[in-house]
Structures are given as C-alpha cells and as structure tokens.
Amino acid sequence: MASTKDRQRALERARYERVQAKIAKQQAAARRNRRIAIFTAIAVVVVGGGATAAILATSPNAPSKPVAQSSASAGATASAAASSTAEKIGYTKSGTASKDVGIPVFNAALAAKPYTATIHTNRGDVVFSALTTKAPYATYSFQYLAGKNYFNNTNCHRLTTSTIFVLQCGDPTGTGSGGPGYQFQDENLNYFGAAGSSGTVTYKAGTVAMANSGPGTNGSQFFLVYKDSPLGPNYTPFGTITKGLDVLQAIAAQGSDNANGSGDGKPKETVTIESVSIS
C-alpha cells in the first residue's frame, strides 16, 4: 500500500504534468494558427501574383517553446507536431530567433573537445563540465550560443521546488517561449538508465539538461538540477555541475511566485545570467 509520502509525490508529479500538457497544447494551437494564417495569406496573394506567394510560403512557423516537461505523457502531447523533425540529425531552422545569432554548423572535431562552462549570474557562479562525447550537438550548441553572447543579461524564468527541483534558463525573453531560431535532436537519453514502472528516472543533483517541447525540439533553454528529481527520460543531459550547487540551492530557498501552481513559477528573487564563459 502506498505511503502518504508516495501519494503526495504522485499528486505533485501529476500536477506538474498537467501544467506541461497544457503548455504543449498551447504550443500546438499556436503552430496551427500560424499555419492557417500563412495559408490564408498565400491564397489571397496568389490571386494577384504567384511570385509573392512563394515568398510567403517560406515564412517560419511560430517559435518553438522549449520547456521542461516532466513525463513521457506530456512529451507525447507535443510529439505529433514535432514528429517531422524528431528524426533529423543536426541543426534545423525553427521559429523566430529571440536573438538573431544564426545557426551553428556542426564540426565533429571541435565538438569532441572537452570544455568547462561558467554561468555568471547575479546570485553567483555556476560551473559545469560539458559532456561533449555523450551529447555533442547539445554541448556544441551551448558553446556556440555562449560565444555569440546569446545568454548575456537574460533572466532564468522558471523555478520548481516541489518533487522536481530545477532552475530553467536560456530564454532571452524570460517568458519560456523564446528560442534561438533552430532546433536539434535529443541525445544521451539513457544517461540515467532505463525508466522504472513510474516512467521516470532520477536526474541527479548537479545535472545540466536541455528543456524541450517534445522529441527533437531542443533549442537554447536548459535546466539546472539542484536536487535529485524524478523526470521522464526525455531531456538531454549535457553537463555536470562542479561548482555552484549551493548557489542554486540558495536561489531555491527563496521560492517561486507559484504562477504555475504551488512550488512552480518564476524565482521570487530575480536570477539573471550576466554572461557565460567557456574554457
């Protein structure tokens, strides 16, 4: 018989999943509306001239919204919309860039080189070692964006403090809806082993992983795990924190604004990434 603590955890996880499923549904609706708008514009312009219609047809879809989802069920909600890109290998254009920094061109030799990243925040530094051999596309992308100052002066937009313990960053808009204008495939999903009967694995404290809105939708958003957290094995782990876990725990101690429910929202104390350095 499940204990009271186990039941509480299950309820918290279910609530988290409902929030993520709602976000995924909103994303799918936004993409549908954007496509309808594009097709309508094409139909109107074709009457007056086919040349302009060809230009409109290449307009980007609504920007992707990479957010950390907590289970396979939440990820499945968005997977249908993402299925056309889930199997593609490499960086593909997607949505509108929150900061226009171009799209990286993958270089396997450079991607394999190990590096250490230091995230300089107004609350202190967080340092992690990149898992370049296990998640080369994720680590190469992060290094590319850091080199373009993409993360500079951006706010971390989400903090969870109940059952799942992460700080999510990497969106220049600070809303959870921004991205770099490209996306890429998942990697290293077996890093913590196979999922148990609950459908989750434990993302260990000190993990740095990509946030997403479904399979193959990694962009710029990432999350920092400050305490062991049960999550579906759907998020690419690409770094291990070597310094600054105490900084994250101090941020978590201040709590969130609970905008997404108890223990889930923006950090009460603003967390700003001032810069990211690679060594």
Give 54-73 pLDDT, tens digit per residue: 222 212 222 233 334 333 33
Q: Is the pLDDT of residue 3 over 60?
A: yes
The C-alpha atoms of residue 19 and residue 133 are separated, in whole angstroms, by 33
pLDDT tens figures, 99-130: 999 999 999 999 999 999 999 999 999 999 99
- Per 3-state DSSP, what percentage of the chain is helix, strand, and coil (rounded to 5)? 35, 25, 45
Rounded to an integer, what distance in angstroms lies between the CA atom of residue 44 and that of residue 42? 5
Domain positions in the chain: 4-278
Phi, psi of 227 (to 5 degrees): -155, 145
What percent of the chain is predicted at pLDDT more than 70? 69
> Does the pLDDT value for residue 94 go beyond 50?
yes
Domain 4-278: state its class: mainly beta
Indicate the SS3 state at residue 88: coil
Structure tokens at 4: 């009271």
Question: What local confidence, expressed as pLDDT, does residue 48 receive?
Answer: 30
pLDDT band at residue 88 using 50, 70 and 90 as cut-offs: confident
Q: What is the mean pLDDT of the chain?
A: 80
Look at the chain and count its residues. 279
Least confident of 51-65, 194-208, 233-247: 51-65
Residue (of 196, 207, 191, 189) closest to 245 by Cα position: 207
| Beta strands per DSSP E along the chain | 92-93, 116-121, 124-130, 154-155, 158-162, 164-169, 182-183, 201-203, 207-210, 222-225, 229-231, 237-243, 264-265, 272-278
pLDDT in tens, 132-183: 999 999 999 999 999 999 999 999 999 999 999 999 999 999 999 999 999 9
pTM of the model: 0.72
> Which range, of 35-49, 107-121, 243-257, 264-278, averages the lowest pLDDT?
35-49
Which position has the higher pLDDT, 58 or 76? Answer: 76
